[in-house]
Chains A and B, each alone.
Chain A
Amino acid sequence: DTAVSQTPKYLVTQMGNDKSIKCEQNLGHDTMYWYKQDSKKFLKIMFSYNNKELIINETVPNRFSPKSPDKAHLNLHINSLELGDSAVYFCASSQGRSWETQYFGPGTRLLVL
């Protein structure tokens, strides 16, 4: 049974489109995260939610909007996609705040053409 799942696994889309990536965790964790891994494999945190409340919001264009309908889900919506948004996006979760062990989803590979 997958602990942290993401859909879709691959996403190829045109510039200017709007797309969403979904994340679900069945670990009963309180905190969820979105990370972006660029072409150089460098990971950066984008957002973190604790019990549906935003607690980390790094410098991310406001075209990116996270939505947490409940504490088991954290979706990422991206408006007006740009070429530079091409990356792998990882969702993760932890019990408690970010210094607890985090469990990662498999990643969503986004390619913007």
Chain B
Amino acid sequence: KNEVEQSPQNLTAQEGEFITINCSYSVGISALHWLQQHPGGGIVSLFMLSSGKKKHGRLIATINIQEKHSSLHITASHPRDSAVYICAVFASGSRLTFGEGTQLTVNP
């Protein structure tokens, strides 16, 4: 079992819908990272969290350290949000572990 589990693996939504992607982890961490990988392969860092909540435009990321869980929300989704969203955790000793990613498709 992977130390970082994401759900769902695949998600299809209609434009305008509110989207939630979940990440659960089983190790103690110093921080958690949400990444976006575009269909062309490029990877962009969205958020780095160690507590609470962060917001950037239509994207919101939350983390609950006690429950070892993070969520990425997208409000008013758009087809250009279609991508793979990857959760990564920074465990002790600077070890970095990735989830398997969530493929999001937003249809017009």
Name A's B-contacting residues (CB within 8 A): 40-45, 48, 55-56, 88, 90, 92, 97-104, 106-107, 109
Contact = CB atoms under 8 A, between A and B. Distances in A.
Contacts of A98: 90, 94, 96
Interface of B: 30-31, 33, 35, 37, 41-45, 48, 50, 84, 86, 88, 90, 94-96, 98, 100-101
B84 A41 contact: yes
Given A41-B84, A43-B86, A99-B30, A56 B96 contact: yes
Contacts of B86: 43
Given A88-B41, A99-B90, A41 B31 contact: no
Which 10 pairs from chain A and chain B are nearest by CB? A104-B43, A99-B31, A99-B90, A43-B98, A45-B96, A101-B48, A98-B94, A101-B45, A99-B30, A107-B41
Contact of B95 (A56, A92, A104, A106): A56
Nearest to B32: A99
Given A42-B100, A99-B31, A104 B41 contact: no
Of residues B33, B35, B37, B96, which shows the largest number of chain A Cβ atoms within 10 Å of its Cβ? Answer: B96
Nearest to A41: B101
B101 A97 contact: no
Contact of A42 (B33, B45, B95, B98): B98
Contacts of B94: 48, 55-56, 97-99
23 contacts: A41-B84, A41-B101, A43-B86, A43-B98, A55-B94, A56-B95, A56-B96, A97-B94, A99-B48, A99-B90, A99-B94, A100-B48, A101-B45, A101-B48, A102-B45, A103-B45, A104-B42, A104-B43, A104-B45, A106-B41, A106-B42, A107-B41, A107-B43
A66 B66 CA distance: 37
Nearest to B100: A42
A38 to B, nearest CB: 11
Nearest to B30: A99
Nearest to B29: A99
